[in-house]
């Protein structure tokens, strides 16, 4: 077993929006950090759909990262439109953003990730580093073991490694449970030209057609792309029970159409017109509330800390705010300089590069972060659980309309 090169005092496991935001804000304060990600490279897999960055969370994190202006240059304010439809395709709610409304503009996940990655010191992210286990060494230090039989030792390991976090296993080990709802994902490419009916139904943002424990959810992405989520309240192994191989696109389509027989033909095209295979996505969530006993040298952010249903609209926003808050807490304990406005670059050496932060001060930073993050995430996860229960429900869409009205 070999020592992994270039260890730093702080390690972030996971190069998603939350982990990258944490690394970026640390570096803006002159603090060295290493990010480990299991993907072989930055473009090893697609990054998913569109995200709305909220003014009171995601945009605060982007400002702390010095990237708010760059975000607005890429964002789509028109993507804030939200429509609720009945199964007859009748419009029940159509929220269109006002001119200049920047409360929650949309950005593609891939664009956001690229923005964050490009802002980091080259070599910060170590691709192809799949964490196999963490070994406590005492005093808050952990040896991070990787699948290639290398390891590195860090005084703080931040679990930003998503739903099935390896870091969380050392902090109570809670496991996400199946929500009872599955999304089957489909894609419509060049939608305005090739799928004009679906494009008109979707509008410029998000459309949800809901009825009797089912939903057709369409989300506008950049480049004329629409991502569709066919939602079912069903057993996690619904396809096995139906004798369906997920790779058999025609058979999956046939079974899904049978679930939406009474729906408008215009809505059913969201099922029939997909460009490519269907992707099965059972929705999982951590228990609410999810907390853990404080442990020196470890903490969590994002889905590793508070995996919740996508109906909250808060997952990436909270992950990025988590990352920014943790980084600022560490910087405060380190006495690091506070960047004045967006930076044009990041330092190559940092406050913790030449002289590490004492263990008690590093621990104080984590405690300060967790005291804010945990109650915030419990509130958001509670709302997310209520939202998915209201949206994919026997009386849908009545419940989700009431839920949305209570938020405004």
Cα 214 from Cα 375, distance rounded (Å)? 32
- Cα dihedral 379, 381, 382, 387 in deg (nearest 10): 130
What pLDDT does 353 receive? 43
Q: Is the pLDDT of residue 342 over 60?
A: no
CB 78 within 8 A of CB 204: yes
Domains of the chain: 2-76+103-176+287-392 (3.50.50.60), 178-284 (3.30.9.30)
pLDDT greater than 80 at residue 48: no
The per-residue pLDDT for range 84-138, each reduced to its tens digit, is: 999 999 999 999 999 889 999 999 999 999 999 999 999 999 999 999 999 999 9
At residue 6, does pLDDT exceed 90?
Answer: no
User: What 8-state DSSP symbol labels residue 357?
Assistant: P
pLDDT, residue 314, reads 87
Question: What is the structure's pLDDT at 345?
Answer: 37
Query: In the predicted model, what is the mean pLDDT of residues 391-408?
Result: 87
In the prediction, which pLDDT does 45 show?
A: 73
Say what percent of the chain tops pLDDT 70.
93
pLDDT at 340 over 60: no
At residue 408, the pLDDT reads 63
pLDDT, tens digit, 9 for 90 and up, residues 203-222: 999 999 999 999 999 999 99
pLDDT confidence bin for 268, thresholds 50/70/90: very high
Q: Give the Cα separation of 64 and 330 in Å (integer).
A: 14
What are the phi and psi torsion angles at 174 (to 5°)? -60, 145
Residues 6+ apart with CB under 8 A from 244: 251, 252, 255
pLDDT at residue 47, rounded to an integer? 65
Burial of 258 per CB tally in 10 Å (0-12, 13-18, 19+): exposed
The string of pLDDT tens digits covering residues 150-199 is 999 999 999 999 999 999 999 998 999 999 999 999 999 999 999 999 99
- Mean of all residue pLDDT scores within the chain: 92
Distance CA 77, CA 102 (A): 6
């Amino acid at each position: 077993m070999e020592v992994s090169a270039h260890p730093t005092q702080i390690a972030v496991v996971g190069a998603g929006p939350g982990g990258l935001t944490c690394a970026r804000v640390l570096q803006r304060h002159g603090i060295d950090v290493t990010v480990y990600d299991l993907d072989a490279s930055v473009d090893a897999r697609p990054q998913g759909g569109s995200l709305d960055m909220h003014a009171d969370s995601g945009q605060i994190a982007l400002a702390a990262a010095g990237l708010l202006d760059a975000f607005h240059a890429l964002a789509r304010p028109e993507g804030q439109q939200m429509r609720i439809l009945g199964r007859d395709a009748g419009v029940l709610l159509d929220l269109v953003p006002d001119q200049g409304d920047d409360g929650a503009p949309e950005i593609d996940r891939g664009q956001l990730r690229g923005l964050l990655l490009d802002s980091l010191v080259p070599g910060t992210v170590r691709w192809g580093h799949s964490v196999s286990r963490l070994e406590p060494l005492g005093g808050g230090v952990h040896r991070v073991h990787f699948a290639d039989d290398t390891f590195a030792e860090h005084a703080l390991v931040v679990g930003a490694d998503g739903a099935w976090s390896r870091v969380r296993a050392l902090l109570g080990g809670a496991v996400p449970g199946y929500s009872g709802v599955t999304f089957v994902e489909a894609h419509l490419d060049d939608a305005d030209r090739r799928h004009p009916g679906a494009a008109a139904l979707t509008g410029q943002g998000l459309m949800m057609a809901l009825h009797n424990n089912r939903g057709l959810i369409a989300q506008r992405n950049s480049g004329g792309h629409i991502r569709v989520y066919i939602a079912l309240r069903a057993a996690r192994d619904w396809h096995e029970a139906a004798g369906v191989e997920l790779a058999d696109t025609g058979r999956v389509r046939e079974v899904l159409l049978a679930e939406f027989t009474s729906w408008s033909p215009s809505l059913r095209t969201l099922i029939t017109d997909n460009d490519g295979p269907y992707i099965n996505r059972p929705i999982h969530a951590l228990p609410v509330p999810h907390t853990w006993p404080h442990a020196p040298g470890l903490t969590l952010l994002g889905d590793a800390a508070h995996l919740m249903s996508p109906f909250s609209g808060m997952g990436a926003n909270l992950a990025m705010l988590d990352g920014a808050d943790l980084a600022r807490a560490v910087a405060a304990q380190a006495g690091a300089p506070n960047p004045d406005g967006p930076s044009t670059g990041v330092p190559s050496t940092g406050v913790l590069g030449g002289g590490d932060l004492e263990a008690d001060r590093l621990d104080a930073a984590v405690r300060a972060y967790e005291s804010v993050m945990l109650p915030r995430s419990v509130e958001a996860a509670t709302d997310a659980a209520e939202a998915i229960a209201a949206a994919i429900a026997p009386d849908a869409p009545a419940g989700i309309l009431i839920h949305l009205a209570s938020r405004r």
